[in-house]
A and B are shown apart, each in its own frame.
Chain A
Amino acid sequence: MHRLYLIPTLLINVVIIFIPAALTIALAFCRWDGIGTPVFIGLANFRQLFADRVFWMALGNNIIWTAIFLTVPIAMGLLAATMMLIARRGSAFFQVIYFLPMVIATAITARVWQGMIYSPLTGIAGLVTRAGFPVPNPLTQPSTALYGIAVVDLWHWWGFLCVIFFAALRQVPQEQIEAARIEGASFWQMLRYVLLPGIRPTITLMMIMTIIWSFLVFDFVYILTQGGPAFSSEVLSTLAYRSAFYDLAVGKAAAVAVVISLFGLATTAFYIRLQAKEFDQ
């Protein structure tokens, strides 16, 4: 009887996600332009991909992206959350403001940074250049494009982590903190030996989610540079999207999607093993 309650959710989920996902995996072994009949070609898509310089650049960029987002926003979030714990007064206010970028549409955040900050004509970069300190637009330089995008995503993202860490820090038992203070622990000792270990499960989970999300990053790259200039900011998700809808190489796009999913799968498996280990202890 109660089984019926699940039908709507599962039906929508299976039709929209599960079946197309299974088809994508099958398509990864086919040549298909999206219209005709798919032709089975075995591993040719993957072989082509592994011989493609752009694929390796995109993968490399995803790894750089993961490294940036595993460190900078997590450090910023942890530090700000700890400081909010000290400040107490006003922490609710700081929390709301830091969270604000999360509710603004990515398309809008991207355009504000593009036009009002990075643009050499209408942005802060142009203003600084005209004042005699030339600042190139980071989005138009192959060496900096990816980092220019990452800064925008950092601005949008770090406050979310801060709020999560702040919520976790408030759950750390009062007795542990009192005990540390009686022992005469300094701020950094408190952070290192009481607060950080106290919220370790939250930090681990956020790091795992960061890895998964870093391989999914799409919006900011697609809107700000479309992967350019010269593929310098290409990531796997934009490569897949362009292959499917611009080049109509759906088989290749599917192969890229499978690669992205494998990274997600590996990360999830690692997390489950980690959880199981902690459970055993």
Chain B
Amino acid sequence: MRLIESRTTFVLTYTALAILLLITLFPIALLVLNSLKPATQIVQSPLAWPETYRWDNFVRAWNDARFGTTMLNSAMLAAMTIVLVCSTGSLTAYVLARRKIKSWKIVTFYLLATTTAPIQLFLFPLYFGFAKLGLINNVFAVSLIYTAIYSPFAVMLLRTYFLAVPKELEEAALIDGATHWQVFSKVMLPIVSPGILTVALIIGLYSWNEFLIATTFLQRTDRLTAVVSFFLLSGQYTSDWGEIMAAALIIVLPVIVLFVALQRRFIEGMAGGSVKG
């Protein structure tokens, strides 16, 4: 659609949009700028340009936050969650989109209801139960929790992709003698693969950034995720903010690069999934 307005409206509009842009970018700019500065210069002014570029901030951040280990933990956690959510979610989404079972309505409603449940409603018995079973500090166990929490979102998003596939395609394959499983895995899955990629990206992002579950269930130093490790590093009393911002940039940079490169998938997936859900 198009609104044609007067010149003044245009100028006002762009000014307001630019101000919002600056507000959004300002804290991010502070993050990048101060990651390069020595702590002493940050105390003088967080706004000043670096007098000397302290690239060693990144080396110290990498070592102190033990990113060699913790980033690997985060990556493994994200990868396991992506595989679990995409495989189990696409099965469920297919059945619910095609109404393959009579109780599709009840199942859909149940999954939607769990998205509005507060984490605290199941966190405490889950924690003490996992503790009894020796599953604390177990990355796979945490990926199962993420799968339970993120699956309803993934199912609702994938459902819309399955709905867009013409029914005739499925019927033709069945007439040609394909089994139900072949119809799903050989016909449907390849068609909805863009949807699965979108879900994988968003689930990866959520698990990479997640804090509450990770800080509760992964506490041993060699099992921490990158974000929790950053949280602990920045919580120490005598803190060098140059180093802390460098650590923040190390975690955020891959995310921002991926987001900018694949912005449409991220935005449509995150915004679409929550609206249509």
Contacts and interface: CB of A to CB of B under 8 A. Distances in A.
B76 interface: no
A205 B239 CA distance: 43
A79 B88 CA distance: 40
B227 A107 contact: yes
A170 B119 contact: no
Contact of B3 (A5, A177, A254): A177
Contact of B125 (A24, A108, A223): A24
Contacts of B1: 85, 169-170, 172, 174, 177
Interface stretch (A49-57, A64-72, A132-140, A256-264): A256-264
Interface stretch (B55-63, B189-197, B251-259): B251-259
B10 interface: yes
A256 B241 contact: no
B231 A17 contact: no
A1 B17 contact: no
Contacts of A121: 43
A246 B107 CA distance: 37
A187 interface: yes
B73 to A, nearest CB: 15
The bracket for how many chain B residues form the interface is 35 or more
Contact of B209 (A104, A113, A268): A104
Contact of A216 (B42, B110, B118, B205): B118
Nearest to A13: B148
A5 to B, nearest CB: 4
B167 interface: no
Contacts of B50: none
Contacts of B145: 16
B21 interface: yes
B164 interface: no
Contact of B231 (A85, A94, A107): A107
Interface stretch (A39-47, A142-150, A237-245): A237-245
Contact of A100 (B2, B111, B259, B271): B259
A105 to B, nearest CB: 4
B244 to A, nearest CB: 6
Given A9-B88, A127-B47, A159-B24, A241 B251 contact: no
Given A103-B259, A116-B27, A260 B121 contact: yes
A215 B124 CA distance: 18
Taking chain A's interface residues, is the majority helix, strand, or loop, or is none over half, making it mixed?
helix
Interface residues of A, number: 101
Taking chain B's interface residues, is the majority helix, strand, or loop, or is none over half, making it mixed?
helix
B179 to A, nearest CB: 10
Given A9-B155, A104-B252, A209-B274, A98 B20 contact: yes
A6 B3 contact: no
B231 A116 contact: no
Interface in B238-277: 239, 241, 244-245, 248, 251-252, 255-256, 259-260, 263, 266-267, 270-272, 274-275
Contact of A257 (B20, B34, B120, B274): B120
A106 B144 CA distance: 22
Nearest to B109: A272
B175 interface: no
B275 A205 contact: yes
Given A80-B16, A241-B120, A250-B124, 4 more contacts: A2-B180, A105-B252, A112-B28, A155-B27
21 contacts: A2-B180, A5-B94, A5-B95, A18-B122, A20-B121, A24-B120, A87-B13, A103-B205, A104-B255, A104-B256, A105-B251, A107-B228, A108-B230, A115-B244, A126-B46, A155-B27, A164-B274, A167-B272, A216-B118, A237-B120, A261-B118
Interface of A: 1-3, 5-6, 8-10, 12-13, 15-21, 23-24, 27, 34-35, 76, 79-80, 83-88, 90, 94-109, 111-113, 115-117, 121-124, 126-127, 155, 159-160, 163-164, 167-170, 172, 174, 177, 181, 187, 190, 202, 205, 209, 212, 215-216, 218-219, 222-223, 237, 240-241, 244-245, 250, 253-254, 256-258, 260-261, 264, 267-268
- By Cβ-Cβ distance, the 3 closest A-B pairs, closest first, are A16-B148, A20-B122, A2-B100
